Amino acid sequence: MNLDDLEELAAKYRAESKEPDTEIRVCMAASCQSSGAGPVLEALSAACADTPPGQCAVKGVGCMGLCSAGPLVAVAAPAAPLDEAIIYRDVTAADAPDILASITPGAAPVERLRIPSDMPFFARQHRIVLENSGIVDPDSFRGYVMVGGYAGMVRALSEMTPQDVINEVTTSGLRGRGGGGYPTGLKWSTVAKMPPGQKYVICNADEGDPGAFMDRAVLESDPHRVLEGMAIAAYAIGANKGYVYVRAEYPLAVERLKTAIRKAKRTGFLGNHICETQFNFDIEIRLGAGAFVCGEETALMASIEGGRGQPRPRPPYPAEYGLWGCPTLINNVESYANIPPIISNGGQWFAGIGTEKSKGTKVFALAGTIVNTGLIEVDMGTHLRDIIFEIGGGIPDGKAFKAVQTGGPSGGCVPEEHLDIPVDYDSLKTLGTMMGSGGMIVMDESSNMVDVARFFMEFCMDESCGKCIPCRAGTQQMHGLLDKIAKAQASRADLELLEELCEVVQATSLCGLGQTAPNPVLSTLRYFRHEYEEKLG
Amino acid sequence: MQRTPPDLPSNDKRWKLVNATMRRNGYAGHALIESLHAVQDAFGFLDEEAMTFVAGSLDLPLSKVYGVATFYHLFMLKPQGRHSCVVCTGTACYIKGAGALIEGIQERFGAAPGETTEDKSLSVLTARCVGACGLAPAVVLDGHVIGKLGTEQLCERIEREIAE
């Protein structure tokens, strides 16, 4: 199969699906479902059945991003992007007749529910990873092909050698989206250079950072995109088997992923002789069981092998010695989701987006005390202030901004005076925090930073796997000291001890969890030291 | 030599579901976590009988099975109440008052996180982020995510579930 054949297939699907003039999309991602999207979908479908054939169709789609205003409903021409759609917020089943009435020729949109089309939350985004989210039906293989899906994989298989694929990814400048920011092309070529034999591709979907839900949204909204990215990776490095390691806390994502794998296999886009080539690739799902440390790559592999998720020292890196001792490529969900457009549009195209050292876009989960909570995708280099006050809509209830926390329990807090920095891997590091996987939690003046530091330390203490002493005992001691400070029972010597412990744990822990556990303390000490001092006796 | 898996512990049909999962994975040791998920889905928790059965079927030492079962937060070694209430304690929920929810539930129902009420009607649990930060503070009540509730409303909701 080549690209022409794929386009022919998409045209055939389009003809068979009898596309309506207008489609009504109901967000069926986890957040909107919890807000009552199910009954809205039913009511709209029932109302739609009474309209003339070919006028409209109702479908369930993935995340549109603005979770705080859910359930969201979009009215648009088939496959039209989100910024060309009329989007309604807080829709209930009772609104169905009005929405249906608005699509008859000449009728006006339902103004009382409508989100203004120039709302910065939507207008300022640049959707690459999320380009199909909220547009395609995640359970539909045909839907994905009709919007140009699998073109990256078909192009790679029919026109490129594995080395061409790696070159394209290297040119793109893509860096790992799981937090580390390691150059993806370099990782791929390391695994590709290993002697031929059994190799594995793993997708890390163990999104454990509290406050991060980017990967869940991608898996729930556009699962085929991730499978396509993994298949391209497998072709590039010479693997025939892949695993998606996904959290059991995301049942809907698991369900949609299962459906996607089944449909891709049935149509010959996964399995043996993919698209009538010699390339074989199969994907299996592995469920996590609630252990944050399994996001660490060596712990994740231990868990896939059926054991306790405990990390081991690196080197050897998974690229040399990974799953069952075989060379293994591990990337995160968002990294894989970036691959198909890079192959379709070329690495140069991707390298033209973002900053000098951080290319492309980044998906962030905005949460905490902020008006617009939800999922956004912006160019690398967008300023933090723009993200929080323009796109995020600022702080609710007239309160003042205090800090934004990025990078989860491994990251840190950025105060008001540093909000004018561009968001990229390196700038965030200079502020003592990190990009992380993309959680961004905004705190207003009512948050106490010692409590925040204690919260993260409690997290790390609970999630420490217990293998190495600095992390197992160190997080416990640090938590005890923070608790003492928070309760105003500590002395200056306790604070000094805490700072010393931070250094020791950072320098001597085995894996990333322990090495970065002190970061929330160090960063709050750096910017909010007075809040600690105020509590000392 | 071909190893024969042990017999099912009893006539309870749920063992067949567990066994089917293990068979689908070729009784391979690396399917341990999937197998324990299958037991928990069928029985609600893992007891010694179940762990011994899984260990025998997958040809693993019982110590390894117990080690894995206790390592992961999601596996329960005690029977759970008829209803479950999982309070998300992720960062966004923490900022928006998950702590108050936990205190409120404990006050009303007398069960702290990890505990089950004496009449076995409710188990209270916590989770490290269920990824519903847009709905913070989020709670998973009997598998359904609900959000943006105050303590009072949540407790009423739980009482309604228990009464039904």
Task: Identify whether residues B102 and B142 lie together within a single domain.
Answer: yes
**What pLDDT is attached to residue A437?**
87
Instruction: Round to whole Å and give the CA distance between A364 and A212.
Output: 8
The answer to whether the CB atoms of A309 and B71 lie below 8 A apart is yes
Quick check: B3 pLDDT over 80? no
Distance CA A412, CA B124 (A): 30
Q: Which pLDDT does position B132 carry in this prediction?
A: 87
A3-123: CATH topology: Glutaredoxin (3.40.30)
Query: Per-residue b/e over B66-85, b at no fewer than 16 CB within 10 Å?
Result: bebbebbbbbbeeebbebbb
Count the helix, strand and coil residues of chain B and give each as a percent rounded to the nearest 5.
50, 10, 40
CATH number of the domain located at residue range(s) A449-533 in this protein: 1.20.1440.230
Contact across the interface for B95 and A441, Cβ inside 8 Å:
yes
What does the pLDDT look like over A147-179, one tens digit per residue?
Answer: 999 999 999 999 999 999 999 999 999 999 988
Question: How many independent structural domains does chain B possess?
Answer: 2
Q: What does the H/E/C string look like for A454-489?
A: HHHHHHHHHHCCCCCHHHHHHHHHHHHHHHHHHCCC
Q: Do both B63 and B91 map to the same domain?
A: no
CB < 8 Å to A304, chain B: 30
Taking contacts as CB-CB distances below 8 angstroms, the residues of chain B near A70 are 134
Give the three-class secondary structure for A5: helix
Interface of A with B in 61-100 (CB under 8 A): 67-68, 70
Per-residue pLDDT, A423:
94
What is the spatial distance between Cα A392 and Cα A468, in angstroms, rounded to a whole number?
40
Closest CA to A57 of A115, A137, A119: A137
Q: In this structure, are B150 and B93 located in the same domain?
A: yes
Tell me if A211 and B32 make a contact (CB, 8 A cut-off): no
Q: What is the pLDDT of residue B134?
A: 85
Q: Which residues pair with B64 in a beta bridge?
A: none
Are the C-beta atoms of residues A197 and A234 closer than 8 Å to each other?
no
Residue B1 belongs to some domain of the structure: no
pLDDT at A17: 86
Q: Is A305–B94 a contact, with Cβ atoms under 8 angstroms apart?
A: no
At A498, is the secondary structure helix, strand, or coil?
A: helix
- β-strands A282-287, A241-246 pairing: parallel
* Residue B95 included in any domain: yes
Phi-psi label, residue B114: left if phi above 0, alpha if psi -120 to 50, beta otherwise? left
Mutation for B interface: A249, A402, A404, most B CBs within 10 A? A249
* Degrees, nearest 5: CA angle A295-A299-A304: 95
Residues of chain A contacting residue B129, judged by C-beta atoms under 8 Å apart: 208-213, 249
Domain end, chosen from B35, B50, B71, is at B71
Q: Is the pLDDT of residue B2 over 70?
A: no
| pLDDT, averaged across chain B | 93
pLDDT tens digits for range A48-70: 988 888 889 999 999 999 999 98
Are B36 and B9 a contacting pair, CB within 8 Å?
no
What's residue A274's pLDDT? 96
Where, residue-wise, is CATH 1.20.1440.230 in chain A? 449-533
**Residues in Cβ contact with A485 at an 8 Å cutoff, skipping those fewer than 6 apart:** A450, A494, A495, A498, A532, A535, A536
Are B91 and B65 within one domain? no
* Shared-domain flag, residues B37 and B95: no
Strand order in the sheet with A439-444: A374-379, A361-368, A439-444, A401-406, A412-415
Q: Which of B41, B94, B125 to mutate to test the interface with A (most CBs of A within 10 A)?
A: B94
pLDDT at A436: 87
The pTM of this model reads 0.95
Token couple for A414: 């950025």
Q: Which residues of A, range 254-313, sit inside 8 Å of B by Cβ?
A: 286-292, 303-309
A110-119 burial code (b ≥16 CB/10 A, e <16): beebbbeeeb
Residue B8 counted as domain residue: no
B92, A30: Cβ pair inside 8 Å?
no
**pLDDT on residue A111:** 94
Does residue B1 surpass a pLDDT of 80? no
Q: Are B91 and A369 in contact (CB < 8 Å)?
A: no
Is residue B9 domain-resident? no
Shortest distance, CA B107 to any CA of chain A (angstroms): 22
Range A361-444 has CATH code 3.30.2130.10: no
Q: What are the pLDDT digits (tens) for A426-457?
A: 999 999 899 888 999 999 999 999 999 999 99
Given a cut of 50, the residues of chain A with pLDDT beneath it are: none
In chain A, CATH 3.40.50.11540 covers 162-351
Residue B160 pLDDT: 94
- CA–CA gap between residue B91 and residue B132 (Å, rounded): 11
User: Based on the domain organization, do B62 and B106 belong to the same domain?
Assistant: no
CATH no. for residue B100?
Answer: 3.40.30.10
Domain hosting residue B150, numbered range: 83-163
**In terms of domains, do B132 and B94 share one?**
yes
Q: Are residues B87 and B142 in the same domain?
A: yes
B64 and B97 assigned to the same domain: no
Q: Is residue B6 a part of any domain in this protein?
A: no
Question: ipTM > 0.85?
Answer: yes
| The pLDDT of residue A18 | 82
- In this predicted structure, what is the pLDDT of residue A210? 87
The two three-digit tokens of residue A230, written as one number: 């993994």
Spelled out in words, what is the top-level CATH class assigned to the domain A162-351? alpha beta
B32/A286 CB distance under 8 A = no
Identify the residue whose tokens are 């009464």. B163
Q: Are residues B26 and B90 part of one domain?
A: no
CATH 3.10.20.600 range(s) for chain A read 361-444
List residues of chain B with CB under 8 Å from any CB of chain A. 28-34, 36-37, 64, 67-68, 71-75, 89-92, 94-96, 127-136, 138, 143-147
Select the residue of B67, B74, B128 nearest A248 (Cβ to Cβ).
B74
Domain stops at, among B42, B71, B100: B71
Instruction: Establish if B78 belongs to a structural domain.
Output: no
CB A311 within 8 A of CB A511: yes
- Rounded Cα gap, residues A339 and A230, in angstroms: 8
Mean pLDDT of B122-140: 90
